[in-house]
Structure 1
């Protein structure tokens, strides 16, 4: 057991991450997972958590925290009337199915594989946001089913493997088909709800009974981290929503792209540094 002073430092680091995660949940509609996963990975490493379960634990715990954060963020955006409810209704089965499949995949892949998936997707999304051009469009409106439904499954799978709420992928999908970034951000909060709830149960199942997990963990969910960060993220998420609606499209895209590059660099360094 680490000294009390070290545990206090870890708690403060997690609390600070909770503030940032909550702001990002509202600002980008990403559920906060993009910041929580790398922070958890670092903190769990300092606590001596087995590398074999460290990334999986980070992803699963992030998804558990995203549940209330996404709900709070979604309700805040919904009140502003900018959520695409038709798209969310179409994805009611598709996105949760993808999240469940992600937990099945995660149960059989390595920590390094999960980190690589996170970094590659983050870089792809960052490139799209930073170098966005008006001509980068796949269509004037969202595709019809079954393409749209399959995209929902894919977003659920990739987001579930990254431990994020789906905003990084849904924002890209919707803007490529001409939807306003503010509508994409608002709808992404709802996508986060569809991903995080089945993802939580999936990661409990995937890690059930495995050795090397820290105290007060159920599968790949650590409830100490969940209990510490959820109140903070719930408190600050509406502030991020307010900020999102005060910024223009290019500011949102640039900030989002820079953020994802920093996160991708951190994981690539952990793999090859």
Structure 2
């Protein structure tokens, strides 16, 4: 693959990731992961290494991108600080464990798990009605601790920020307003992603066959190409998010989830569809 095309695809992916991160309160790893994985495969990188580099680099990009998005949502009054910090702390621990598991699992298993988790999240949001009455202040800290850990575990395992799981949990189970669920999710992602990043770097330091300019399972070329475009676009996503009704945000979220889940599970390849 030509280097210019390679970098252009990454930059455009960063634009989409940044906008989606600010718009939907997700890290964007479910977009970056598959794109990086398929690009690395096209460059001849071993699949088992490619998927770990894709996941590790995704988490690294997610950190500055979600910081940008969280700042924008905080200015809009859409971040609930206490729940975000509590979930973020246990999410960090879960992220450590999830990333440790991911660096020791076969690539085929990771792809299937990733696709299934995202697809189930989409169905969950589609089939469940958002509550009409919100009650964001009655939950015990223990519930935030549990959900934070679970989301962090999944995020570290799949190289995603966790927003694809966190936003449905906050809206459907904890009854957050969709805009506050999105804003709060960005803060949780900032903290939880750090655990996964640490493990992906440490576990990959002695691995042979990594693409050039890699620090462990984090590739600096891909990081820069993605981050430079995703960070500013996150602010545009935040602005758009607060101009859209909650119902519209919900359906956009679902469509994105379904597409990425099918892509990760290889359904389009199996059906010979160029998607």
Aligned match of 1:65 in 54, 61, 65?
Answer: 61
The answer (yes or no) to whether the contact 1:117–1:161 under 8 Å persists in 2 is: no
TM-score normalised to structure 2 length: 0.92
The answer (yes or no) to whether the contact 1:141–1:178 under 8 Å persists in 2 is: no
Q: Corresponding residue for 1:121?
A: 117
Classify the secondary structure of the residue corresponding to 1:65.
helix
Q: Does 1:168 align with 2:164?
A: yes
Residue 211 of structure 1, CA deviation: 1.7
Match runs of 1:107-186 below 5 Å: 107-134=103-130, 143-176=139-172, 177-186=174-183
Aligned match of 1:31 in 14, 27, 32?
Answer: 27
Residue 131 of structure 1, CA deviation: 2.6
Q: Give CA deviations for 1:95-141 in whole Å, capped at 9, x if unaligned.
A: 1001111111112111112111211111111112223324699x876
Give distance in 1, aligned partners of 2:236 and 2:268: 35
Give distance in 2, aligned partners of 1:271 and 1:208: 34
Query: What is the aligned length?
Result: 269
Q: Corresponding residue for 1:188?
A: 185
Give distance in 2, aligned partners of 1:266 and 1:237: 24
Q: Corresponding residue for 1:255?
A: 252
Q: Corresponding residue for 2:90?
A: 94
Give distance in 2, aligned partners of 1:88 and 1:178: 15
Compute the RMSD of aligned alpha carbons: 2.1
Q: Corresponding residue for 1:222?
A: 219
Classify the secondary structure of the residue corresponding to 2:105.
coil
TM-score normalised to structure 1 length: 0.92
Unmatched 5+ stretches in structure 1: none
Give distance in 2, aligned partners of 1:250 and 1:208: 45
Q: Does 1:81 align with 2:62?
A: no
Classify the secondary structure of the residue corresponding to 1:69.
helix
Q: 1:11 to 1:142 in 2, by over 3 A?
A: farther
Residue 222 of structure 1, CA deviation: 0.4
Residue 270 of structure 1, CA deviation: 6.6
Unmatched 5+ stretches in structure 2: 271-275
Give distance in 1, aligned partners of 2:230 and 2:195: 20
Aligned match of 1:265 in 254, 262, 266?
Answer: 262
Q: Corresponding residue for 2:10?
A: 14
Give distance in 1, aligned partners of 2:118 and 2:29: 12
Give distance in 2, aligned partners of 1:70 and 1:140: 22
Residue 249 of structure 1, CA deviation: 1.1
Q: Corresponding residue for 1:211?
A: 208
Classify the secondary structure of the residue corresponding to 1:122.
helix
